[in-house]
């Protein structure tokens, strides 16, 4: 007669109970110390590329760019409209088509 396989949950619990007793090795302390010492003595990044990336890494840069672009578009539209009104050929066309001016 063939035994039925044990319940997966029971097997899992059994494995867990045994595995919890597993004590692993401790990492090599000297190697860890060497690794952090290399980071500590590594020079901080310098140069225009670092400055450039630092400039654009802060949060408000993108909203500020968007606001600047919107302000520029507004100013340009206003200037274009102003010029459009004062151009003489616009008045000529306007009178030719029976405008009010």
- The Cα 86–Cα 92 span in angstroms is 11
Task: By CB under 8 A, tell whether 22 contacts other proteins.
Answer: yes
Categorise residue 87: left if φ over 0, alpha if ψ from -120 to 50, beta otherwise: beta
Task: By CB under 8 A, tell whether 3 contacts other proteins.
Answer: no
C-beta of residue 54 within 8 angstroms of C-beta of residue 48: no
- Chain positions 37 to 96 lying near other proteins, rule: CB under 8 A, are 37, 39-40
- Binding segment for other proteins among 4-12, 47-55, 64-72, 75-83 (CB under 8 A)? 4-12
- Binding segment for other proteins among 10-18, 63-71, 75-83, 87-95 (CB under 8 A)? 10-18
Residue of 2, 3, 23, 84 interacting with other proteins (CB under 8 A): 23
- The Cα 71–Cα 84 span in angstroms is 20
């Amino acid at each position: 007669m063939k035994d039925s396989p044990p319940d997966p949950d029971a097997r899992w619990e059994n494995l867990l109970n045994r595995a919890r007793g597993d004590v692993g090795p401790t990492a090599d302390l000297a190697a860890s110390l060497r690794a952090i010492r290399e980071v500590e003595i590594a020079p901080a990044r310098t140069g225009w590329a670092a400055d450039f990336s630092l400039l654009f890494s802060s949060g408000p840069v993108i909203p500020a760019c968007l606001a600047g672009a919107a302000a520029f578009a507004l100013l340009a539209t206003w200037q274009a409209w102003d010029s459009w009104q004062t151009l003489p050929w616009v008045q000529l066309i306007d009178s030719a088509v029976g405008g009010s001016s």
